Amino acid sequence: MNSDEGIDFIARAMTDAEPRADFRARVLASLPDRRRRRWSRFLVPAAAVMAVTSMAWLAGTIGRRPPAELTLARADAPGPAEPVGSLEAIGGIDAAEPIGPVGPVGPVGPVVRIVPVVPAEDLAWRARAVPRLTPPERLAIDPIQPKQLSIAPISVEPASLDPIALGAIDSRAGGQQN
Amino acid sequence: MDSGSACPQPSVDLETPEVRGVIERARAGDQAAFGQLIRAYERVVLRTTLAALGRREDAEDAAQEAFLQAWRHLPAFRGEATFRTWLLTIAWRKALDRRRSRLAWWKRSAVAAVDGDPFDDVAGSAPSPERAAIARDACDRTRLAIARLSPALRDTLLLAASGEHTYEDIGVVLGIPLGTVKWRVVEARRLVRARLEVEAETEREHGPNGPAGS
């Protein structure tokens, strides 16, 4: 057994094993359903995105006025030398100036002008008359003057102290004072 | 078992288009397809984990964990290595995790030997009369000598000798260069041979029970 062949023989025997018959079944029984996990993994982010989108849509719907509808109106065909393409302004304002001369391009088809149709209530809102406001009353400003200061002069009288009177000190025994 | 080959011939994994199709189905979540992969690779995975752990029960648990992790991470498998190598790398890491945790448990419970190697239960720590009697057998002595190798040499030798891996695969699984794999195998054999020769010399001088008082 001292040869390499013998060592390899023993080494191989040390790792020689066959899996049990139920090994595969045990592994399969322990497998999680990856398909379900894959779907559930996206559920929460998808729900969050949907919630945010719904909130944004609701906020936009509530705070938004109905927009002006745009319709296409046909205009007469211009002459060959006329400028092509103009856009009428919104709400009864005069037509906008032509974009610019294009030059002779020959006969062209009818020009399509974009005329916005503004709802009646929107027009009424635009044409509303704002009542003139009355000017405010003029402000009267009282002059601010401090009252005359009257401070009495301070008089200081000289201090007068009575002299302290002391009796004669008897120096006899006992130190009695008369 | 063929004992005549100096270097065992590894099984070749070609990953045919059929196998790749099964892998793709398993990636998509087909458990039946993954069952086919388990059937194809359970043996080599078990032998790989057994090389690291030395105990069949631990090796089976590690192999099961490896398949479970492979199932979880299969969608991330990009095919840079073969599926077999990828799976064996997972299995080897699982086995090493288990070996480390077992070492920690042994050290905590103060049951471990000085070096605390899991193969100590194969190698034995004290030459009891019974063990000495068993060690008379040449196979057992060789097995003990292999078990007493350092983990790095023993792992490489066992993986190489298992006949399931090429040296290149062993390098990928262990994370070492091909030259290091070859050197470790040669060095492991040399150390085992030297140890057996020392034991044989001792036995010739002092008899089968070794030096007196040992």
**ipTM metric:** 0.73
Those residues whose C-beta lies under 8 Å from the C-beta of residue A105, and which sit 6 or more positions away, are A80, A84
Q: In which band, very low, low, confident or very high, does the pLDDT at A72 lie, cut at 50, 70 and 90?
A: low
Stated as kind and residue range, the H or E segment containing A70 is strand A69-74
Q: For chain A, give the mean pLDDT.
A: 72
**Ramachandran region of residue A91, left (φ > 0), alpha (ψ -120 to 50) or beta?**
left
Look-up of token digits 């105990």: B55
Within an 8 Å CB–CB cutoff, is residue B60 touching chain A? yes
The secondary structure element, H or E, covering residue A71 is strand A69-74
Cα A53 from Cα B99, distance rounded (Å): 51
Q: Which residue has the tokens 């406001």?
A: A133
Q: What is the C-alpha to C-alpha distance for residues A14 and B162, in angstroms, rounded to an integer?
A: 8
User: For the segment B156-213, what is each residue's pLDDT rounded down to a tens digit?
Assistant: 999 999 888 899 999 999 999 999 999 999 999 999 999 988 888 887 777 656 554 4
d(CA B64, CA B168): 24
**B99, B61 Cβ separation under 8 angstroms:** no
In eight-state DSSP terms, residue A85 is -
pTM: 0.55
Cβ atoms of residues B139 and B167 within 8 Å: no
pLDDT the model gives residue B14? 57
Phi, psi of A115 (to 5 degrees): -115, 115
- The predicted pLDDT at position A38 comes to 58
pLDDT of amino acid A160: 85
Q: Say which residue, A178 or B47, is predicted with more confidence.
A: B47
With CB atoms and an 8 Å threshold, state whether A30 touches B68. yes
Yes or no: say if B77 and A50 are a contact pair by the CB < 8 Å rule.
no
Q: State the nearest Cα–Cα gap between B121 and chain A, in angstroms.
A: 13
**Contact A67/B at CB under 8 A:** no
Residue in chain A lying closest to B33 (CA): A28
Which residues of chain A have a CB within 8 Å of the CB of B42?
19, 23-24, 27
Whether the per-residue pLDDT at A147 is higher than 60: the answer is: yes
Q: CB contact, 8 Å: B183 with chain A?
A: no
For residues B124 and B154, which has the higher predicted lDDT (pLDDT)?
Answer: B154
CA atoms within 13 A on the CB side of B145: 29
One-character DSSP codes across A109-175: -PPEEEEEE--HHHHHHHTPPPPPPPPPPPPP-----PPPP--PPP--PPP--PPPP-PPPP-STT-
3-class SS of residue A33: coil
Q: Which of A44-58, A96-110, B62-76 has the lowest mean pLDDT?
A: A96-110
Q: Tell me which chain A residues have a C-beta less than 8 angstroms from the C-beta of B158.
A: 11, 14-15
Q: Which pLDDT belongs to residue A174?
A: 59
Distance from CA of B128 to the nearest CA of A (A): 22
* Cross-strand pairs, A70: A116
- Average pLDDT for residues A77-86, to the nearest whole number? 47
Distance CA A1, CA A6 (A): 4
- Label residue A125 exposed, middle or buried (CB < 10 Å: 0-12, 13-18, 19+): exposed
| Cα B200 from chain centroid (whole Å) | 27
Comparing CB atoms, the residue among B71, B159, B189 nearest residue A7 is B189
